[in-house]
Amino acid sequence: MSNYTPVIGLEIHVQLATKSKMFSRCSADWFGKKPNTVVCPVSLGLPGALPVPNKKAIEWAILIGMALNCKQNKVSKFDRKHYFYPDLPKGYQISQYDEPFSFDGFYEFTSKATGQLKKVRIKRVHLEEDTGKLIHNGEQTLVDFNRAGVPLVEIVTEPDFDNSEDVKQFLEELQTIIRFLEVSEADMEKGSMRLEPNISLRKDGETDLPNYKVEVKNINSFNFAKRAIDFEVKRHEELLKNGETPAQETRGYNESKGITVSQRVKEEAADYRYFPEPDIPPFEFDDAFFTHIREMMKELPHEKVKRYVDMGVSQDDAYILTRDREGSKKFDALLDSLEHDIVGKAASLVVNKKVGMDAEAIKAMLRPKETDEGLLNEVVDRVVFENAAQVESYRNGKESLLMFFVGQVMKGMKGQADAQKVQEVLKEKLK
Amino acid sequence: MSTIDLDLVKHLAKLANLKISDEELQQYPEQLSESLEYVANLKEIDTSKVPDNFFTTKARNVMEDDEVCESDMISHDGYFVVKRIL
């Protein structure tokens, strides 16, 4: 009996957080707004309205490509992609076909699933416009064009994944990168980051791509991505073992049932009748333009991890500290006021939530102290007496107040006490 | 010789979002093939040394800064607003 290996590629859409839309200076702040109020002649596709590209959106799209180690096309253009759907007012989407801004990149990460270094090839990173939003309502579908024309970056990977764990980890790390670049909130629930995996199976040991693939849409969390892929892999396996080939199609993920459902037979690429967008002159970028974008590059999460590790932080702690932009910024600020030799221990305290991002508190915790136990008992008694209300809340279960008491006692001890010891005595007296 | 068959006409009609009656449908393979053959005359010209020409102006790198222009949008009781014209 033969076994199968999944072959998974990803198409990821990221909405850019520009102020204005991709091809008009209509506001791009569409989320939660009254339907069809954040629209203009261009985003509604009114006859005669002419698109003018948003410079910032182009710079940010190229920046994402650079962060994913892509090459850049010096000559590029936009193209029209044609299809009829009610969320697309012009009957075509302005996208990029054969000259995307970025192509041929890669991203590497240490797989939590296999422990191995995983390299994923990035096929292309291009820029396009988002479509309107459809709300299905009984026999009708309601169309809101507020989202139409918002800049959308499409990132396409090669089919280099063979398990759903790696997909989930890659998506989480990609989201972190996008957020570090400060070009999008990349929020799956709000739809500013969207994912369409394409999945097929081949026999173990084979290297040719299977003769079919299934695309899954309507996935709005990383966990659902994993579950949808796992569901598909199992479904394909059963079909293949019965001698059938799964149909080439688009399926939608139903999160309440945890299954995928056939949506439509996929149109062939040629059916989109791509041709160069005649209303937007082409681009011929010079080195100065790319240099300007490279200067916008931020320190990326994996670079930050390396810097922290070089300063004595453990690999695991460094990884955890670099998962969100604000947290890592706070840790960076903290580093300025810590001596080099305690950085590793400080990181561990912060990661394990023993202490907040407070240099003085960290130093106090790490400083070995001679504690005057007699004085400590006196101070603790006084603090307990003076803060009766907090003591009651603590005894009723609000344990987070412990740090408040520690602070009060440390103040009373003028910092001359071992924090560990202070906690022990406090816990005893607060029983 | 017909280069366009019935299936292709149906496919094109679908892509163009056109409803075409069966009767009309029968005429199209021949008519469209004739048109195509006529245009195919152009193939006799040697264009191997002529570069692609998608864009007819010399304009390049046309972009705008990322600033919102309120008056471009529906910004007054459901109306688009333009500068008063009369």
Burial of A73 (C-beta count, 10 Å sphere; 0-12/13-18/19+): buried
How far, in Å, CA of A253 to CA of A218, rounded?
6
Distance CA A345, CA A190 (A): 37
CB A300 within 8 A of CB A177: yes
DSSP at A92: E
Residue A1 has what pLDDT?
A: 47
Interface with chain B: mutation pick from A26, A79, A272, highest number of B CBs within 10 Å: A26
* Residue A264, pLDDT score: 67
Tens of pLDDT, residue by residue over A366-404, are 776 677 788 888 889 999 999 989 899 998 988 888 888
Closest residue of chain B to A22, computed from CA coordinates: B66
Instruction: Please determine, for residue A416, whether its predicted confidence score (pLDDT) is greater than 90.
Output: no
Q: In the beta sheet, which residues pair with residue A109? A: A118
**How is residue A104 written in tokens?**
């041929």
What is d(CA A105, CA A125) in angstroms, rounded to the nearest whole number?
9
pLDDT in tens, A96-119: 999 999 999 999 999 999 999 999
Asked if the Cβ–Cβ distance from B54 to A282 is below 8 Å, we say yes
- The verdict on a CB contact (< 8 Å) between A58 and B55 is no
Q: What is the pLDDT of residues A83-93, one digit of tens each?
A: 989 999 999 99
CB-CB under 8 Å, A24 with B72: yes
B10 neighbourhood in chain A, CB within 8 Å: none
Is the pLDDT reported for residue A419 higher than 80?
A: no
User: 3-state class of A80 per DSSP?
Assistant: strand
Structure tokens at A422: 């202070």
pLDDT at B1 over 80: no
Alpha-helix residue ranges (DSSP H) falling in A220-341: 222-241, 287-294, 301-310, 315-321, 325-335
Q: Which of A25, A281, A284 sits opposite B68 (nearest CB)?
A: A25
pLDDT, average across residues A214-232? 95
Domains delineated in chain B: 6-44 (1.10.20)
Report, as an integer, the average pLDDT of A290-312: 95
Predicted confidence (pLDDT) per residue in A125-164, tens digit: 999 999 999 999 899 999 999 999 999 999 999 999 999 9
CB contact under 8 A, B66 and A57: yes
Are A201 and A7 spatial neighbours (Cβ–Cβ below 8 Å)?
yes
pLDDT tens-digit readout, A310-352: 999 999 999 999 999 998 999 999 888 888 888 888 898 888 8
DSSP per-residue letters across A324-367: SHHHHHHHHHHHTTS-GGGHHHHHHHHHTTSS-S-HHHHHHHHS
Contacts with A351 (C-beta within 8 Å, 6 or more apart), sequence order: A316, A317, A320, A321
How much is the average pLDDT of B20-28? 92
What chain B residue is nearest to A58 in terms of C-alpha separation?
A: B63
Shortest CA distance from A74: residue in chain B = B61
CATH architecture of A368-431: Orthogonal Bundle (1.10)
